[in-house]
Structure 1
Amino acid sequence: MSHKAAVLTKVGAPLEDVTVPTPKLGEDEVLVEVQYICLSPLDIWRSKQGLLTETPKILGGAFSGRVAALGPKVVDRHDLAVGVAVSCFSGHLGIGAHQQYVVVPWWCLSKLEEKADLAAASTINDNLVTAVWSLTHGGIRLPLFDFRAGDRLKPILVWGGSSSVGQNALQLLKLQGYERVYTTSSQRHVARMKSLGAFDVIDYNSADASTLLMAATDGKGFEAVLDCIGDVDASLQPSLRLVRPGGIVAAMLPYVRRTGGAGAGAGSQAVFMDVAEIPLKVPEGVTLIGVRTHQYHHDEEYKLTVQPEMVPRFAFSGMPYRLVGQKDSKTSLAERLNEALETLNAGVSGERIVVAVP
């Protein structure tokens, strides 16, 4: 059996349609027919700058679709069956989503309701996995799923609340009862940020944004800051200034230092995969943690819980999205993905780019 994939054959070049062999199923694996692919900034950094990429490569790591076949140890387990709708984050395993069929371990999948919006569902898993990991073990270490532990009144800042991870982080913090969660976004996203759980929203374009945020903590600084933007000058530096001594800043890698441009890859002068490499000084008493979501599955509890259980339990509806390529379109998968990558690189805010698989 074989299928179509959109393959990066050379860094900086457009993706190409290639026929590839469909992998054989392992005992604990599932074959999924991909229906929607959700892009992320990492797709830009990899395709245009070659970050963590050797060619030829099938990119992508977030998708939704329907189960096409089950390995023998998955049959009658985990509520999965042929035809069931699922969403998935597979990027941490190096399994590319830019193809018509994907084979993944069962624990990478989230079972969806039959009538779920699969395009919206494709935006959920990578965001939620990253938000959970960033807020807990892999980042600012909140006792997120233990109502008996922690101070729900501690001031927490999510820098970049309208980002894909930021929106999920706000919902998780609200769900767990945190009451003093602040965030930054542009003015047009304020109402949505508050609906997701932000106590207050500060426009990051404001000249006195940092002053207003510090005033919200009575000048003491935030207990923890989650930086969802990944820009050395625009988000990390102010995050470090706003955290109190003894506090934590969780910085989602990779980080960029830009020369200009709004897109995920536009004007990037340098890309950092380790916070120790970033040329800035961390204030004394502040802990700076580089969040690597791609390592979350090394924790057995998180691996077996986040995607199989948390996504269905929280029933997040996904992010607003812009769909590229209708089902009846004659464009190929590579053509659709190339259009989507250019759209993402030009800059989007408050929404994700989703591609319908032909």
Structure 2
Amino acid sequence: MSTHKAIVTVAVRAPLEIIEVPTVQPVTREVRVRVEWTASTPLDLHQNDGGLIVKYPQILGSGVAGTVVEVGPMVRNLALGDQKVFGFCFEEAKCKAQQEFVTVLETSLGKLPSGFSLQEAVTLPNNVVTIFHGMTTGLSIPLAWPCSQAPPPPHANIPVLIWGGTSSCGQYELQILSHWGYKNLLTTASPANHAYLRSLGAAHTFDYRDPDVSKQIIEAAEKQVPAIPFVFDCIGSKSGSLAQIAKIAQKGTRVAVLLPVVLKDATEEDAPEYAMDVEPHAPWAEGVDTRGVRTHFYKENEFFREYLQPTIVPTLLADGVIKPNKQKIVEGETLLERGQNALDMLRRKEVSAERLVWRVSSN
């Protein structure tokens, strides 16, 4: 069996390593893709520095963009040649992004629309999938497809708070909910990014570092109970987001939090600490409904499993409903150096309102 190079985490907080792994031939509806670009995510840091849900040595990454090089006998919609694709792939080692080839189901991939680069497209799949899954399961907000045939949303004018608007998820959530007809979107960010977030659909923007931010958010809402019925926490930090959201959430508020809850951030000196349960980590008022969101369960929705990545995500990109995150290209002489540099930049928080993207293979 032929092999190829993959980046792996080998121990908590250890430097990344390169290993040779089998190049898996596709079967049934699988395709093999040469991975040309990937985008680093906080999960990469959680797994390397915190050992979160890791079995060593574990290949990192879940966002891929590249070229189809081999197809299984039952593949319906993808072909060989210059077929460029992008997707969120994670189920097992052969699917992980930080390696030269992945072998995945075609339903985990979308065709690259004309006018976009792989570098741009790789910023989408993880977090657009997260928003669809998080909205429908975490907040029970329907996102019927196609949007043009969906009835007006029942909560079109009710405040929806997005904590962490400049995160990748926050940017896509603003664009998606705005397209689906939600008009009263509130979000937090540094003031320098407020104008940009309003261009994506935010009706109100707030400085998350202002000590009175929770009071300001409640005052901006209509006079109703609860003042903010829906909250989506893109940050998931005990001190950085949950503490403030708990001051806003009232009886009847539904709060969805991207997991894990970060109890302590990773630093150059200290290991991080995480929790997978939202409820114990903030002083919630009675009657607040808190829910943790784990994107890796999105395929439990049969419709999303079949259509979200192959159809919905590329259509929204092609139609201009969502635009790629801004990118910060991570440089390095080798695959390992690029992967390690990206991880170190995540740890040092050297990125804001953009995604860390980097080349995996070029031939």
Cα separation, partners in 2 of 1:93 and 1:226, compared to 1, 3 Å: farther
Aligned length: 347
Where does 1:46-195 land on structure 2 (aligned, <5 Å)? 46-74=47-75, 77-93=76-92, 95-136=95-136, 138-145=137-144, 146-195=150-199
Counterpart of 2:346? 344
Pairwise CA distance, 1:219: 5.5
Matches of 2:269 and 2:326, distance apart in 1: 23
Counterpart of 1:212? 216
**AA at the equivalent of 2:184:** R
Deviations 1:296-338 (A, max 9, x none): 112211111211111111013311111113xxx6x22111100
Matches of 2:240 and 2:189, distance apart in 1: 12
Counterpart of 2:201? 197
Conserved? CA contact 2:238–2:262, under 8 Å: yes
Counterpart of 1:273? 276
Deviations 1:134-183 (A, max 9, x none): 111x2101122233441200111000000111111001111111110000
Conserved? CA contact 1:12–1:49, under 8 Å: yes
Show structure 2 runs of 5+ residues with no match.
Answer: 145-149
Matches of 1:7 and 1:151, distance apart in 2: 44
Deviations 1:158-214 (A, max 9, x none): 000001111110011111111100000001111110011100100111122111100
Identity of aligned residues (%): 35
**AA at the equivalent of 1:133:** H
**AA at the equivalent of 2:139:** I
Conserved? CA contact 1:64–1:118, under 8 Å: yes
**AA at the equivalent of 1:103:** T
Counterpart of 2:147? none
SS at match of 2:5: strand
1:257 aligns with 2:263: yes
SS at match of 1:18: strand
**AA at the equivalent of 2:142:** P
Show structure 1 runs of 5+ residues with no match.
Answer: none
Matches of 1:238 and 1:16, distance apart in 2: 39
Q: 2:238 aligns with which of 224, 227, 232?
A: 232
Deviations 1:245-299 (A, max 9, x none): 21200011001123x77x6x985652011224x3333311110011111111122
Conserved? CA contact 2:174–2:201, under 8 Å: yes
Higher mean Cα deviation, 163-172 or 218-227?
Answer: 218-227
1:33 aligns with 2:37: no
TM-score, structure 1 as length reference: 0.92
Conserved? CA contact 2:153–2:181, under 8 Å: no
Conserved? CA contact 2:4–2:22, under 8 Å: yes
Cα separation, partners in 2 of 1:93 and 1:201, compared to 1, 3 Å: farther
Cα separation, partners in 2 of 1:140 and 1:80, compared to 1, 3 Å: farther
